[in-house]
């Protein structure tokens, strides 16, 4: 967590801080975490602040909620360089990173409407294979279609 | 290799070895010899989409080698219509058969099936995806006519977008060092995934809408069907169909040993007057489907053909 990013919003007592989100992607991140519709969880957003690593970045603070590694790995699709701190009693209790594995299992569905996995009754897991990390290229393990990264947000499981 | 879903499941050596076995199968496929090396084996023919040619070709291949075949039956009356998942259908097949062949309207269905069961699965077409056994017979035909798969000039013509046979074939030909020309109306051009993969692997590709502008340099013209339903209106279709039609007089400047192939059935894209030219190989090609599939079945069922035939 950079000093600058921290100073713009007040420190939180308990919760999760997600730093190094590509500038402009924080709303998508909240969407992916299912937090956009939340009317209870206090959330602070910092957008477009200067960052050594990214040029510009977004930062999110989620109060009173510790995000699990599984939830965080969902972010790999749009914020693979995010660094995460779990805060307990104003201190960083744990540091986590978002890891893009070799395959995203049951994180998002293939967006191709004629894919076999488009039938919600089919029980096998949704699998998107990571063909390249930079730039990110994901293909459905079944139909082989390249996935539009921006559109995946609408296909989260 | 335990299943054949795309041509990527086979190395070049494996492809050559299957083609070699297919060569040995010719007398058996013609009924000149009976060698029941697959006797006692059961193949499940799962065609979720109408197909006569491919389904019967697999059936002929299996029966020529002494095996037997279960057919799914009419999809419109089977349990599939009652909403059974592909996963559940495949579980049944796992118990009934030693190997399954699947054609399905949805892309990825064959891969999905192979993940669902223990028995080997052969992809006989999944939506606009792949059709690798067609590729094996195509390669067999090309090798039979040209004596090699290497360094050929091949034009793929017609509906390259939805035509799954050309998707599999282009990758395979590229692996053997052929140069590819993709000739199609722009609305039916080769999917970008495929072009990107080919270019990344260093293949020489030309994409054009110009129908056979450079016929004199070609060793193979692979024609595909352009279907009316791919076009927004009749007028648009007729314009394209009129251009993408090969006639005998188009062949004047072709090399003597240039061959014309087609996965069949054809509609208008090859005029009947081409049939009697020495270039026409599409009927021969269809017959080779049986030997290519015989070889593949032996391979996936782990039957040592050399040992069994001697
Ligand atoms: Zn898919």
pLDDT level of residue A114 (50, 70, 90 thresholds): very high
Identify the band that residue A140 occupies on the pLDDT scale cut at 50, 70 and 90.
Answer: very high
What residues in A contact B86, CB-CB < 8 Å? 116, 119, 122
Q: Which of A117, A121, A123 sits opposite B108 (nearest CB)?
A: A117
Domain ranges of chain A: 3-97, 103-155
Name residues whose C-beta falls within 8 Å of residue B105's C-beta, 6 or more positions apart in sequence: A114, B48, B49, B127
pLDDT greater at residue B280 or residue A40 = B280
Is the CATH code 3.40.50.1370 the one for domain B132-286? yes
Nearest beta carbon to residue A116 from set B6, B86, B192: B86
Task: Provide the shortest C-alpha distance from residue B165 to chain A (in Å).
Answer: 15
Give yes or no for residue A95 having a pLDDT over 80: yes
Residue B26 belongs to what H/E stretch?
helix B12-29
Helix (H) or strand (E) holding B298: helix B282-300
Which of A112, A122, A123 lies at the smallest CB-CB distance from B107? A112
Cβ neighbours for B263, distance < 8 A, ≥ 6 positions apart? B134, B138, B163, B165, B224, B225, B285
Tell me which of B107, B111, B195 to substitute to probe the interface with A (most A C-beta atoms closer than 10 Å). Answer: B107
Question: Given CB atoms, is A118 within the 8 Å cutoff of chain B?
Answer: yes
Residue B173 near residue B149, CB atoms below 8 Å: yes
How confident is residue A5, by pLDDT bands cut at 50, 70 and 90?
Answer: very low
**In whole numbers, what is the pLDDT of chain A averaged over residues?**
88
**CATH architecture of the domain with range A3-97:** 2-Layer Sandwich (3.30)
What's A103-155's CATH class?
A: mainly beta
Task: List the single best residue of A103, A144, A146 to mutate versus B (max B Cβ within 10 A).
Answer: A144
Q: Complex ipTM, two decimals?
A: 0.86
Residue A93 pLDDT greater than 80, yes or no: yes
Task: Let me know: does B152 contact B219? Beta carbons within 8 Å.
Answer: yes
**pTM of structure:** 0.84
**Is residue A4's pLDDT more than 60?**
no
Higher pLDDT, B184 or A9: B184
Task: Say if residue A135 is preceded by a cis peptide, omega within 30 of 0.
Answer: yes
Question: What pLDDT sits at residue B76?
Answer: 65
Helix axes B132-146, B53-64, angle to 10 degrees: 70
- Partner residue opposite B108 with nearest CB, options A121, A143, A146: A143
pLDDT for position B80: 62
Contact B129 A118 (CB under 8 A): no
Catalytic residue among B82, B192, B249, B256: B82
The owner of tokens 């308990």 is: A14
Which residue of B lies nearest to A137 if distances are taken between CA atoms? Answer: B193
Cα–Cα dist B142/B169, whole Å: 11
- For chain A, say whether B128 makes contact (Cβ under 8 Å): yes
Order of strands across the sheet that contains A83-88: A43-51, A55-63, A15-22, A83-88, A91-97
Consecutive 10-residue averages of pLDDT for chain B (310 residues): 92 97 97 95 94 93 97 70 85 96 96 97 92 96 97 94 88 93 92 88 91 89 88 83 89 96 91 97 96 98 86
Cα B74 to averaged position of ligand 1 atoms, centre (Å):
26
Residue B6 near chain A (CB below 8 Å): yes
Helices (H) and strands (E) in chain B, counts: 10, 9
Select which of B104, B130, B131, B225 is catalytic. B131
Q: Do A3-97 and A103-155 show the same overall fold?
A: no
Give the bridge partners for A43, in sequence order. Answer: A62
Confidence at residue B78, expressed as pLDDT on a 0 to 100 scale: 63
Chain A residue with CA closest to B112: the answer is A142
Indicate the pairing of strand B42-47 with strand B99-104: parallel
Chain centre to alpha carbon of residue B206: 22
Buried residues in A89-99 as b, exposed as e (16+ CB within 10 A): eeeeeeebebe
Which ranges in chain B are annotated with CATH 3.40.50.1370?
Answer: 7-130+289-309, 132-286
Q: Where are the alpha helices (DSSP H) in B97-225?
A: 109-116, 132-146, 164-175, 192-200
Q: Please tell me the predicted confidence (pLDDT) of residue B24.
A: 96
Q: What is the pLDDT of residue A54?
A: 83
Candidates B111, B114, B167, partner chain A, best to mutate (most A CBs within 10 A)? B111
Residue B53 known to be catalytic: yes
CATH number for B7-130+289-309 (one of 3.40.720.10, 3.40.50.1370, 3.40.50.300, 3.40.50.1100): it is 3.40.50.1370
């Amino acid at each position: 967590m950079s000093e600058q990013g921290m100073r713009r919003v007040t420190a939180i007592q308990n919760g999760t801080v997600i730093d190094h989100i590509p500038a402009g992607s924080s709303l998508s991140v909240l969407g992916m975490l299912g937090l956009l519709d939340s009317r209870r969880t206090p959330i602070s957003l910092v957008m477009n602040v200067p960052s050594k690593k990214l040029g510009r970045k977004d930062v999110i603070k989620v109060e009173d909620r510790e995000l699990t590694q599984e939830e965080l790995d969902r972010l790999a699709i749009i914020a693979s360089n995010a660094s995460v701190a779990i805060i307990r009693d104003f201190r960083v209790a744990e540091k986590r990173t978002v890891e893009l594995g070799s395959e995203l299992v049951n994180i998002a569905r293939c967006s191709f409407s004629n894919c076999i996995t488009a039938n919600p009754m089919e029980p096998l897991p949704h699998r998107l294979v990571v063909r390249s990390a930079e730039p990110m290229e994901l293909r459905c393990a079944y139909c082989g279609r390249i996935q539009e990264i921006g559109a995946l947000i609408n296909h989260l499981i | 290799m335990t299943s054949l879903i795309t041509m990527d499941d086979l190395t070049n050596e494996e492809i050559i070895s299957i083609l070699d076995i297919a060569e040995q199968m010719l007398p058996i496929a013609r009924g000149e010899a009976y060698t029941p090396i697959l006797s006692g084996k059961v193949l499940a023919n799962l065609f979720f989409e109408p197909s006569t040619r491919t389904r019967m070709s697999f059936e002929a291949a299996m029966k020529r080698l002494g095996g037997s075949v279960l057919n799914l039956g009419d999809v419109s009356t089977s349990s599939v219509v009652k909403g059974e998942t592909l996963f559940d259908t495949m579980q049944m097949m796992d118990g009934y058969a030693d190997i399954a062949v699947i054609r399905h309207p949805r892309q990825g269905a064959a891969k999905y099936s192979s993940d669902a069961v223990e028995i080997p699965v052969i992809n006989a077409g999944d939506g606009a995806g792949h059709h690798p056994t067609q590729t094996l017979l195509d390669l067999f035909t090309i090798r039979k006519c040209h004596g090699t798969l290497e360094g050929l000039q091949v034009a793929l013509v017609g509906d390259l977008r939805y035509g799954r046979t050309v998707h599999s074939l282009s990758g395979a030909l590229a692996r053997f060092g052929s140069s590819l020309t993709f000739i199609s109306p722009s609305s039916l051009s080769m999917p970008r995934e495929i072009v990107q993969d080919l270019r990344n692997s260093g293949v020489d590709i030309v994409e054009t809408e110009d129908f056979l502008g450079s016929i004199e340099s070609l060793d193979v013209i692979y024609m595909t069907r352009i279907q009316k339903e791919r076009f927004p209106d009749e007028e648009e279709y007729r314009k394209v169909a009129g251009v993408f039609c090969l006639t005998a007089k188009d062949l004047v400047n072709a090399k003597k040993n240039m061959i014309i192939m087609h996965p069949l059935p054809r509609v208008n894209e090859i005029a009947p007057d081409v049939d009697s030219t020495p270039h026409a190989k599409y009927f021969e090609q269809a017959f080779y489907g049986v030997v290519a599939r015989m070889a593949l079945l032996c391979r996936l069922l782990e039957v040592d053909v050399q040992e069994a035939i001697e």
